[in-house]
Amino acid sequence: MLKWTEDYQGWTNWETWNTKLMMDNERGLYDESRKIVERFRTRPAQGVTSLENWAIQMIIGPENARAIQDAQEWNDIPQEERLDYHYEDLKERNEQAADIVNSLGFGPNTEDSEPSIIDPNKVNWYEIFESILQDIEEEERYEQGLPPSWQEQPDPDKPGDLTLPDSWSGVR
């Protein structure tokens, strides 16, 4: 098993984390990513390539297009007409808090926006493939009535490792 450098929310980087997050947050994308991994579970190199190609088309491409469009729409508004809705909401709820935020230099942000673009070359596709495969294997263990792979089995030869029988549930 490969070891990953965990630099962003337990993932290699922001691009990997964000891609997997989007993959998991929409049922259709989630199901399709699992189908790809299941189809190629014994041929991971081909599976990684297939997963990457699919994700670029179905997730990264549309997400990057949306981010660019959002930034363009914001930047097309003359700066003096832009409103920071988060700041305006805070000001409406608690004007004193808004004044404090403003005095600290964190007032309304009406600067031009740069889109957060996902570079598919920075995504750790192997990490995503392995993560999905581990989820599939854990589900299979569950369906077989086995404990999760991360759960250590009690060693009856070690003191304190024994599980009490159900009939002892009231005994302390």
123-147 pLDDT, tens per residue? Answer: 999 999 999 999 999 999 999 998 8
pTM for the model: 0.73
Of 135 and 84, the one with more pLDDT:
135
pLDDT at 4: 47
Tell me what percent of the residues of the chain surpass a pLDDT of 90.
Answer: 58
Residues 67-83: what's their mean pLDDT? 90
Of 32 and 9, the one with more pLDDT:
32
pLDDT at 3: 47
The pLDDT confidence band at residue 172, using thresholds 50, 70 and 90, is very low
Of 84 and 15, the one with more pLDDT:
15
The pLDDT confidence band at residue 152, using thresholds 50, 70 and 90, is low
pLDDT at 158: 65
Q: Which of 19, 12, 8 minimizes the C-alpha distance to 56?
A: 19
**Nearest 5°: phi and psi at 8?**
-140, 110
The pLDDT confidence band at residue 1, using thresholds 50, 70 and 90, is very low
CA 118 to chain centre: 13
94-103 pLDDT, tens per residue? Answer: 999 888 988 8
The pLDDT confidence band at residue 104, using thresholds 50, 70 and 90, is confident
Q: Which long-range contacts (CB under 8 A, 24 or more apart) does 54-63 make?
A: 55/19, 55/23, 55/120, 55/123, 55/125, 55/128, 56/120, 58/29, 58/32, 59/19, 59/22, 59/23, 59/29, 60/19, 60/118, 60/120, 60/123, 63/22, 63/118
User: Which tokens in the block code for residue 52?
Assistant: 């990457």
